[in-house]
């Protein structure tokens, strides 16, 4: 038999939680696993701006023919402006181009293959910890993956250790940085930290790959782009992976892009030719619908204003959930222990709970979070914060 020697790999550590949660019959269950935003009703709604754009598309779209290798040109132009800023000199100088990808994960996969194919010998440096799929995507592309420290054993951001390791990275290697809302920890660098990272990147001639999956969920749509724009302004070359899964709520439509910033317009065309070739061999051409929705929203002043309000509402709600959870933990004497929840940004909190405590939370209280102790704060509704705090207190005190 051909398949006899094939064994089973463990299920995905994050998506697998969705399945276990769905099967749990408890009416009290909490879904703090996969990074999906939920509203006060516990639903992940389609944004109103998205619905309106979809209605417009349904009326006006005339074809389902393939879109090109780089995807929808209008989408590419508008996403460049969203990420780099409408007045970015890179856009005037034609030094930045977006290649549409199936989600942010597709953009990471495309970057990995591009590095392996066009920049042979370069290692890739990831934060420790990072999103588990970063580890496998780059390793599967045949790249050497190494780590720089990010969070210490005290569950606090350790910038000094990060900078010290980056300062010894071999010249020319690729360093993956999280633009905002670091996944899984929620700890973000300050502007001063970013400037120090930039100096090392420049000094070591590193190629930054900035993963920008949560624009708008940290401090705001423009504010979250600060580091990306600093790097784009200060360095000649840069890779940025952007995702529309969270901020447009287009999770299942798979919309993302790989933005390349190059030294000049001609070099950008060279790099983009390689990306189109690699993408053709991965997924041929990207899916159209979600990117057409994004282009419709960003290309229309009214829809864009509505969308910005909706993103801001999600952001503010997540911030409120963070402070609400802290308040609910206070009567248990846990304010200090979990103070970091108020400092972290975006959906995720690296709670500092151990794998055993996470297991106990799941088995005893039907609270689902990633084994690393990562909780999706956006997955809880405010009326149940006390219940969640009681469960956390139970495993902390047992």
Q: Tell me whether residue 30 or residue 131 sits nearer to ligand LMR (CB atom).
A: 131
Q: Tell me whether residue 165 or residue 241 sits nearer to ligand LMR (CB atom).
A: 241
Q: Tell me whether residue 165 or residue 257 sits nearer to ligand LMR (CB atom).
A: 257
Rg of the chain taking only CA atoms, in angstroms: 21
Asked if 361 contacts 395 with a C-beta cutoff of 8 angstroms, the reply is: yes
Closest to 186 in 3D by CA, of 214, 146, 162, 145 = 214
Q: Tell me whether residue 95 or residue 134 sits nearer to ligand LMR (CB atom).
A: 134
Q: Which residue's C-beta sits nearest to ligand LMR? A: 35
Q: 374 burial class (0-12, 13-18, 19+ CB within 10 angstroms)?
A: buried
140 included as an active-site residue: no
Pick from 100, 183, 351, 366 the residue near ligand LMR by CB under 6 A: 183
Distances (CA, A) of 338 to 158, 344, 346, 355, 379: 17, 11, 16, 16, 18
Shortest Å distance, C-beta 205 to ligand LMR: 30
If one asks whether residue 34 binds ligand LMR (CB under 6 A), the answer comes out as yes
Q: Tell me whether residue 14 or residue 179 sits nearer to ligand LMR (CB atom).
A: 14
Write each residue from 239 to 278 as x if it is in contact with ligand LMR (CB under 6 A), else as -, in one continuous string.
----------------------------------------
Shortest Å distance, C-beta 13 to ligand LMR: 9
* Other residues' Cβ atoms within 10 Å of the Cβ of residue 311: 21
* Rounded distance between C-alpha atoms, residue 234 and residue 198, angstroms: 8
If one asks whether residue 318 binds ligand LMR (CB under 6 A), the answer comes out as no
Q: Tell me whether residue 71 or residue 102 sits nearer to ligand LMR (CB atom).
A: 102
Of 38, 173, 246, 307, the catalytic one is 246
Pick from 31, 32, 35, 321 the residue near ligand LMR by CB under 6 A: 35
Helix (H, G, I), strand (E, B) or coil at 158: coil
394 included as an active-site residue: no
Of 72, 211, 253, 288, the catalytic one is 211
Write each residue from 3 to 22 as x if it is in contact with ligand LMR (CB under 6 A), else as -, in one continuous string.
-----------x--------
Shortest Å distance, C-beta 372 to ligand LMR: 11
Shortest Å distance, C-beta 304 to ligand LMR: 25
Q: 168 burial class (0-12, 13-18, 19+ CB within 10 angstroms)?
A: exposed
Six token digits for residue 145: 């993956």
Contacts with 49 (C-beta within 8 Å, 6 or more apart), sequence order:
297, 303, 304, 306, 307, 310
Site size toward ligand LMR (CB under 6 A) is: 5
Shortest Å distance, C-beta 184 to ligand LMR: 7
Six token digits for residue 154: 């005290």
29 included as an active-site residue: no
Of 131, 173, 188, 194, the catalytic one is 131
Six token digits for residue 96: 């930045």
Q: Tell me whether residue 341 or residue 396 sits nearer to ligand LMR (CB atom).
A: 341
* Rounded distance between C-alpha atoms, residue 246 and residue 310, angstroms: 12
Shortest Å distance, C-beta 61 to ligand LMR: 28
* Contacts (CB under 6 A) with ligand LMR, residues 93-152: 131
Helix (H, G, I), strand (E, B) or coil at 325: helix
Distances (CA, A) of 249 to 99, 173, 335: 20, 33, 32
Closest to 274 in 3D by CA, of 304, 174, 282 = 282
Shortest Å distance, C-beta 35 to ligand LMR: 3
**Interaction site with ligand LMR (CB under 6 A):** 14, 34-35, 131, 183
Active site residues: 131, 211, 246
């Amino acid at each position: 038999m051909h398949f006899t020697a094939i064994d089973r790999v463990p299920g995905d550590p994050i998506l697998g939680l969705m399945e276990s949660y769905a099967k749990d019959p408890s009416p009290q269950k909490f879904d703090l696993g996969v990074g999906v935003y939920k509203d006060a009703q516990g639903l992940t709604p389609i944004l109103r701006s998205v619905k309106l754009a979809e209605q417009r598309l349904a009326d006006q779209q005339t074809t389902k023919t393939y879109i090109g290798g780089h995807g929808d040109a209008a989408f590419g132009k508008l996403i460049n402006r969203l990420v780099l800023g409408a007045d970015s000199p890179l856009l005037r100088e034609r030094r930045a181009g977006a290649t549409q990808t199936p989600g942010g994960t597709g953009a990471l996969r495309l970057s990995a293959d591009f590095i392996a194919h066009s920049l042979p010998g370069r290692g890739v440096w990831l934060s420790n910890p990072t999103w588990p799929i970063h580890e496998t995507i780059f390793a599967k592309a045949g790249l050497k993956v190494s780590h720089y420290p990010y969070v210490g054993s005290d569950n606090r951001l350790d910038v000094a250790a990060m900078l010290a390791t980056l300062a010894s990275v071999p010249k020319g290697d690729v360093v993956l940085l999280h633009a905002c809302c670091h996944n899984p920890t929620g700890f973000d660098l300050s502007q001063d930290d970013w400037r120090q990272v930039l100096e090392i990147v420049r000094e070591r001639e590193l190629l930054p790959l900035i993963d920008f999956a949560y624009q708008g969920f940290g401090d705001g749509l423009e504010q979250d782009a600060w580091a990306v724009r600093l790097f784009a302004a200060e360095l000649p070359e840069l890779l940025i992976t952007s995702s529309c899964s969270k901020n447009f709520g287009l999770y299942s439509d798979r919309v993302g892009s790989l933005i390349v910033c190059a030294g000049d317009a001609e070099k950008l065309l060279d790099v983009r030719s390689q990306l189109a070739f690699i993408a053709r061999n991965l997924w041929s051409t990207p899916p159209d619908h979600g990117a057409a929705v994004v282009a419709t929203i960003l290309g229309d002043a009214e829809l864009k204003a509505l969308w910005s309000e909706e993103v801001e509402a999600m952001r503010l709600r997540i911030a409120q959930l963070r402070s609400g959870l802290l308040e609910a933990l206070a009567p248990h004497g846990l304010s200090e222990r979990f103070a970091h929840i108020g400092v972290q940004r975006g959906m995720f909190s690296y709670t500092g709970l151990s794998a055993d405590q996470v297991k106990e939370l799941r088995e005893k209280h039907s609270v689902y979070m990633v084994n690393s102790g990562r909780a999706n704060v956006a997955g809880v509704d405010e009326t149940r914060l006390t219940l969640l705090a009681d469960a956390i207190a139970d495993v902390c005190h047992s």
